[in-house]
Protein backbone atom coordinates (compact mmCIF):
# COMPACT_ATOMS: atom_id res chain seq x y z
CA UNK A 1 0.00 0.00 0.00
CA UNK A 2 1.39 3.37 -1.01
CA UNK A 3 1.80 5.94 1.77
CA UNK A 4 0.31 9.34 1.23
CA UNK A 5 2.88 12.10 1.15
CA UNK A 6 2.33 15.18 3.30
CA UNK A 7 2.05 18.43 1.32
CA UNK A 8 5.45 20.08 1.03
CA UNK A 9 7.27 17.03 2.41
CA UNK A 10 9.91 15.20 0.45
CA UNK A 11 10.46 11.49 0.52
CA UNK A 12 13.72 12.07 2.43
CA UNK A 13 11.88 14.04 5.12
CA UNK A 14 9.28 11.29 5.48
CA UNK A 15 12.01 8.70 5.90
CA UNK A 16 13.66 10.89 8.53
CA UNK A 17 10.45 11.22 10.52
CA UNK A 18 9.74 7.49 10.29
CA UNK A 19 13.24 6.74 11.59
CA UNK A 20 12.85 9.49 14.18
CA UNK A 21 9.57 8.02 15.46
CA UNK A 22 11.17 4.60 15.82
CA UNK A 23 14.19 6.13 17.56
CA UNK A 24 11.92 8.08 19.91
CA UNK A 25 10.08 4.93 20.93
CA UNK A 26 13.33 3.04 21.39
CA UNK A 27 14.84 5.73 23.64
CA UNK A 28 11.71 6.03 25.78
CA UNK A 29 11.54 2.28 26.28
CA UNK A 30 15.25 2.12 27.10
CA UNK A 31 15.03 4.89 29.69
CA UNK A 32 11.95 3.41 31.32
CA UNK A 33 13.63 0.01 31.44
CA UNK A 34 16.77 1.51 33.00
CA UNK A 35 14.77 3.39 35.58
CA UNK A 36 12.33 0.74 36.64
CA UNK A 37 13.84 -2.67 36.01
CA UNK A 38 13.85 -4.77 39.15
CA UNK A 39 16.97 -6.61 40.20
CA UNK A 40 17.36 -8.88 43.17
CA UNK A 41 19.93 -7.87 45.73
CA UNK A 42 22.90 -10.17 45.92
CA UNK A 43 26.48 -10.38 47.08
CA UNK A 44 27.58 -8.52 43.93
CA UNK A 45 25.74 -5.39 45.06
CA UNK A 46 28.25 -2.73 46.20
CA UNK A 47 27.82 -1.64 49.83
CA UNK A 48 25.56 1.37 50.21
CA UNK A 49 24.37 1.46 46.62
CA UNK A 50 20.78 2.65 46.61
CA UNK A 51 20.73 2.38 50.38
CA UNK A 52 17.91 3.08 52.83
CA UNK A 53 15.26 1.64 50.54
CA UNK A 54 15.28 4.94 48.62
CA UNK A 55 15.00 3.37 45.18
CA UNK A 56 14.09 4.98 41.89
CA UNK A 57 11.37 2.38 41.30
CA UNK A 58 9.29 4.17 43.94
CA UNK A 59 8.84 7.14 41.63
CA UNK A 60 6.96 7.48 38.35
CA UNK A 61 8.86 8.10 35.11
CA UNK A 62 7.00 11.36 34.40
CA UNK A 63 10.12 13.56 34.76
CA UNK A 64 12.07 11.49 32.23
CA UNK A 65 9.13 11.33 29.82
CA UNK A 66 8.60 15.11 29.92
CA UNK A 67 12.27 15.77 29.17
CA UNK A 68 12.36 13.26 26.32
CA UNK A 69 9.21 14.79 24.83
CA UNK A 70 10.84 18.22 24.95
CA UNK A 71 14.01 16.82 23.39
CA UNK A 72 11.94 15.54 20.46
CA UNK A 73 10.55 19.03 19.92
CA UNK A 74 14.02 20.56 20.13
CA UNK A 75 15.43 18.11 17.59
CA UNK A 76 12.74 19.02 15.08
CA UNK A 77 13.23 22.77 15.53
CA UNK A 78 17.01 23.12 15.97
CA UNK A 79 19.14 23.51 12.85
CA UNK A 80 21.67 20.76 12.19
CA UNK A 81 19.90 17.93 13.97
CA UNK A 82 19.91 15.29 11.25
CA UNK A 83 19.18 11.65 12.24
CA UNK A 84 22.80 10.98 13.22
CA UNK A 85 23.06 14.02 15.48
CA UNK A 86 19.58 13.38 16.88
CA UNK A 87 20.42 9.80 17.81
CA UNK A 88 23.65 10.94 19.44
CA UNK A 89 21.78 13.55 21.47
CA UNK A 90 19.37 10.87 22.74
CA UNK A 91 22.34 8.70 23.69
CA UNK A 92 24.02 11.47 25.67
CA UNK A 93 20.84 12.53 27.43
CA UNK A 94 19.94 8.90 28.20
CA UNK A 95 23.36 8.34 29.72
CA UNK A 96 23.10 11.56 31.76
CA UNK A 97 19.69 10.48 33.01
CA UNK A 98 20.94 7.00 33.91
CA UNK A 99 23.99 8.33 35.76
CA UNK A 100 21.81 10.78 37.71
CA UNK A 101 19.72 7.97 39.22
CA UNK A 102 21.94 4.86 39.10
CA UNK A 103 22.68 4.97 42.84
CA UNK A 104 18.96 4.49 43.43
CA UNK A 105 18.87 1.27 41.42
CA UNK A 106 20.29 -1.64 43.41
CA UNK A 107 22.42 -3.93 41.30
CA UNK A 108 23.16 -1.31 38.67
CA UNK A 109 26.50 0.43 38.39
CA UNK A 110 27.72 3.61 36.80
CA UNK A 111 28.79 3.32 33.19
CA UNK A 112 31.17 6.28 33.40
CA UNK A 113 32.87 5.72 36.77
CA UNK A 114 34.91 2.62 35.80
CA UNK A 115 36.09 4.36 32.65
CA UNK A 116 37.45 7.41 34.42
CA UNK A 117 38.71 5.62 37.51
CA UNK A 118 36.64 7.38 40.16
CA UNK A 119 33.10 7.10 41.50
CA UNK A 120 31.37 10.11 39.97
CA UNK A 121 28.19 9.31 41.88
CA UNK A 122 29.72 8.83 45.34
CA UNK A 123 27.22 9.67 48.07
CA UNK A 124 28.08 10.44 51.67
CA UNK A 125 26.75 7.81 54.10
CA UNK A 126 23.11 8.12 55.10
CA UNK A 127 22.33 10.76 52.47
CA UNK A 128 18.93 10.41 50.83
CA UNK A 129 18.48 11.62 47.28
CA UNK A 130 15.18 12.64 45.75
CA UNK A 131 15.69 10.88 42.43
CA UNK A 132 13.13 12.82 40.34
CA UNK A 133 14.92 16.07 41.25
CA UNK A 134 18.26 14.50 40.34
CA UNK A 135 16.89 13.40 36.97
CA UNK A 136 15.40 16.86 36.37
CA UNK A 137 18.70 18.63 37.06
CA UNK A 138 20.67 16.21 34.88
CA UNK A 139 18.33 16.48 31.92
CA UNK A 140 18.17 20.28 32.13
CA UNK A 141 21.94 20.49 32.20
CA UNK A 142 22.59 18.08 29.33
CA UNK A 143 19.90 19.56 27.07
CA UNK A 144 21.26 23.07 27.60
CA UNK A 145 24.65 21.78 26.46
CA UNK A 146 23.41 19.68 23.56
CA UNK A 147 21.13 22.42 22.22
CA UNK A 148 23.39 25.41 22.83
CA UNK A 149 22.77 26.56 19.24
CA UNK A 150 18.98 26.42 19.46
CA UNK A 151 16.72 29.46 19.34
CA UNK A 152 16.04 31.65 22.36
CA UNK A 153 12.44 30.37 22.35
CA UNK A 154 13.64 26.77 22.58
CA UNK A 155 16.13 27.63 25.32
CA UNK A 156 13.24 29.21 27.21
CA UNK A 157 11.34 25.92 26.86
CA UNK A 158 14.24 24.12 28.54
CA UNK A 159 14.40 26.69 31.35
CA UNK A 160 10.63 26.66 31.74
CA UNK A 161 10.36 22.87 32.02
CA UNK A 162 13.21 22.80 34.53
CA UNK A 163 11.50 25.47 36.65
CA UNK A 164 8.05 23.89 36.48
CA UNK A 165 9.40 20.47 37.43
CA UNK A 166 11.60 21.89 40.20
CA UNK A 167 8.61 23.67 41.77
CA UNK A 168 6.33 20.65 41.33
CA UNK A 169 8.89 18.26 42.81
CA UNK A 170 9.58 20.59 45.75
CA UNK A 171 5.84 20.79 46.44
CA UNK A 172 5.56 16.98 46.39
CA UNK A 173 8.47 16.71 48.83
CA UNK A 174 6.89 19.23 51.21
CA UNK A 175 3.55 17.39 51.09
CA UNK A 176 5.30 14.08 51.73
CA UNK A 177 7.18 15.56 54.70
CA UNK A 178 3.98 17.00 56.17
CA UNK A 179 2.21 13.67 55.68
CA UNK A 180 4.89 11.90 57.72
CA UNK A 181 4.59 14.31 60.68
- 161-178 pLDDT tens trace: 999 999 999 888 887 777
Per-residue pLDDT, 41: 42
| Residue 149 belongs to a domain | yes
DSSP 41: -
| Residue 4 belongs to a domain | no
| Residue 139 belongs to a domain | yes
Q: How many residues does the chain have?
A: 181
| Residue 3 belongs to a domain | no
Per-residue pLDDT, 181: 59
Average pLDDT, integer, range 147-158: 96
| Residue 89 belongs to a domain | yes
| Residue 114 belongs to a domain | yes
pLDDT higher for 9 or 93?
93
| Residue 1 belongs to a domain | no
User: Which domain, by its residues, includes 158?
Assistant: 11-179
Please give the Cα distance from 93 to 158 (Å, whole number).
Answer: 13
Q: Which of 14-28, 42-56, 130-144 has the lowest mean pLDDT?
A: 42-56
Domain count, the chain: 1
Q: What is the mean pLDDT of the chain?
A: 79
| Residue 103 belongs to a domain | yes
Alpha helices in the chain (DSSP H): 11-36, 62-77, 83-101, 113-116, 131-146, 152-179
pLDDT band at 65 (very low <50, low <70, confident <90, very high): very high
Per-residue pLDDT, 49: 41
Does this model's pTM top 0.75? no
Percent of all residues in the chain with a pLDDT value above 70, rounded to a whole number:
65
Kindly report the CA angle at 116 between 59 and 54, in degrees rounded to 5? 20
SS3 90: helix
Per-residue pLDDT, 53: 63
Amino acid sequence: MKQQQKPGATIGNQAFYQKFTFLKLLVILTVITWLFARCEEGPWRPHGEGGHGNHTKRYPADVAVKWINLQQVLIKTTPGFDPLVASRSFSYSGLALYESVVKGMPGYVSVASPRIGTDINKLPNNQLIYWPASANAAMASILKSLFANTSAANMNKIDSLESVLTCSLAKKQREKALHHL
